[in-house]
Chains A and B, each alone.
Chain A
Amino acid sequence: MASRYDRRTTTFNPDGRLLQVEYAIEHINQDASVIGVLARDGVVLAAEKKETSKLFIPTKESGKLYKMDDHILVSVSGVVADANFLIDYGRLQCQRHLYSHHEPFYVEELVKYLCNYKHSYTQFGSSRPFGVSFMYGGFDDVRGYQLFCSDPSGNFGSWKAHATGKGSVNAISTLKTEYTQDCSLKEALILATKVLAKSMDTTTPDANKFEIQIITKNDEGQIIQRRVEGEELNKILADAKVFEDNKK
């Protein structure tokens, strides 16, 4: 398994691949799934909650979804410690931009900013790439709602719907067939939960397995992001026929 070329991040192997970077990407593919769906009036990020011990008490920020700024929501796949660092780094830049321009940071700029940083860690010897893939849902005045995804190499893309993690291959193909252009947030939520449920390990998914957040505008036209849970989540799961599908 081990090769002469995977010791350093900065060395290409004879096939022209950067093995350490690919291993980092592979690490993400082993992690729990995250689904992101872009709607005309919001963005949905849905993640599979981790199996936790009965004794575990969630800390203030745990799980897969984090608030980057008021208008940007990110999901994390991969090494959580790396992610924590990058999220802090991104949050700081968001606030810096707000401070100097009195305007929220553009979503794509944040993605680019973090990706530049991630990329720099594939350029220098003796450092390890960030083993993190982010999915970003966000809103800005220029481009409206946006969904991005980035990987440890520093690549990123903008998507209408995307999935990362263990079940991502199947999830993406399902998204391809079932995603409708300009869908509503409600439809996006249903699609996301449906696809996520399918890509889960368990045959009996329950509401506790889903960690879902949306970013949308409230009645006053302000951007908000909130968790979808409790009664609302149950209703969506029912609409998505998550339990029926899996029984079949």
Chain B
Amino acid sequence: MDNENFGLAKSFSSAPVLSISPHTNFSQKEQTDIEHELNEQVGTTGEYVSEGFCFKLAPGQDQIGFMRSLKEKAPKLTDFAKGTTTLAFEFQEGVLVAVDARATMGAFISSNNVRKVIEINDFLLGTMAGGAADCMFWEKYVAMQCRVYELRNGEKPSVAMASMMLASIMRQYRGQGLSMGTMFTGSDKTGASLYYIDNDATRVKGRLFAVGSGGTFAYGVLDTNYRYDMSLDEAVNLGIRAITSATFKDSASGGVVRIYHVTNHGKWNLIHDAIDVSELHYQFEQNKGHTGRGNEGKPNKYL
């Protein structure tokens, strides 16, 4: 990013705001051969020249090949430790998003108070799993594109469209080392909807997703208790319980629970900003009549 114009409006002025990704370069399209023009097909992409953003890329042309060999030679360099639990599900009153807040660097817990829900704009939310920087950067980029779309067209883009923007970016950078696993959710004219998008450019619309190392544990709680016709309170409680359970079993997840609710009317609300999971754990256990130390029903002779 050593371009002095990086991030300034100037650097976007000649850049295509039309394009979904910063790589697509419309302005540099030279007068092409007439023959080529006539043969144009839908979806054909030409050479990409970076404009708008100036990432330092690895020397050489073959980025994908470079990343592949890097992975072989220095597996640890490209393999970020990704420990997290994030979940989101659709229910009758919209979409509920629940996340933990732990950031780890290997075995070291670097923070227990990370914001893993990215507030893209006032109607879109994205969760963060994988590379924090990639999630944050590209979801903010989508925010910019959404705003530009709104200015140009006088209406907000649909969630389907915004999620497609992100998926298209992931597709263009596929195999080039991005790391992102996000639940992309928001509310438009059709109500709230939920997508899963990751760095393989997978984009799936669905009702219920859990992403991250604690995802399996979260799924366990969600799948057994999930109903579409839940009330908001029930949904919030389910979200809290699923995250708490996941943080209990997954060492890479923990900290606090944050809950967001995406309504069916074009807005989202922050329900809980930080509930300590360890407190929740004791609370839940004590509700069952346990201590929370996990020694119920065990012989206490080795204690």
- List residues of chain A with CB within 8 A of the CB of B38: 113, 116-117, 120
- List residues of chain A with CB within 8 A of the CB of B34: 117, 120
- List residues of chain B with CB within 8 A of the CB of A117: 34-35, 38
In the bound complex, CA of A113 to CA of B37 (Å): 12
In the bound complex, CA of A9 to CA of B156 (Å): 45
- Tell me what chain B mostly uses at the interface: helix, strand, loop, or mixed: helix
Please tell me the number of chain A residues within 8 Å of chain B, measured between CB atoms: 4
In the bound complex, CA of A120 to CA of B38 (Å): 10
Taking the closest CB of chain B, its distance from the CB of A197, in whole angstroms, is 40
In the bound complex, CA of A120 to CA of B31 (Å): 14
In the bound complex, CA of A197 to CA of B35 (Å): 40
- List residues of chain B with CB within 8 A of the CB of A113: 38
Taking the closest CB of chain A, its distance from the CB of B111, in whole angstroms, is 55
Taking the closest CB of chain B, its distance from the CB of A71, in whole angstroms, is 22
Beta-carbon contacts under 8 Å, B144-167 to A: none
Taking the closest CB of chain B, its distance from the CB of A199, in whole angstroms, is 35
Beta-carbon contacts under 8 Å, A92-113 to B: 113
Beta-carbon contacts under 8 Å, B1-41 to A: 34-35, 38
In the bound complex, CA of A113 to CA of B35 (Å): 10
Taking the closest CB of chain A, its distance from the CB of B63, in whole angstroms, is 30
In the bound complex, CA of A113 to CA of B34 (Å): 12
- List residues of chain B with CB within 8 A of the CB of A120: 34, 38
Taking the closest CB of chain B, its distance from the CB of A209, in whole angstroms, is 38
- List residues of chain B with CB within 8 A of the CB of A116: 38
Taking the closest CB of chain A, its distance from the CB of B43, in whole angstroms, is 16
User: Which residue of A has the minimal Cβ distance to B34?
Assistant: A120
A-B contact pairs, 7 of them (CB 8 A): A113-B38, A116-B38, A117-B34, A117-B35, A117-B38, A120-B34, A120-B38
**Interface of A toward B, CB cutoff 8 Å:** 113, 116-117, 120
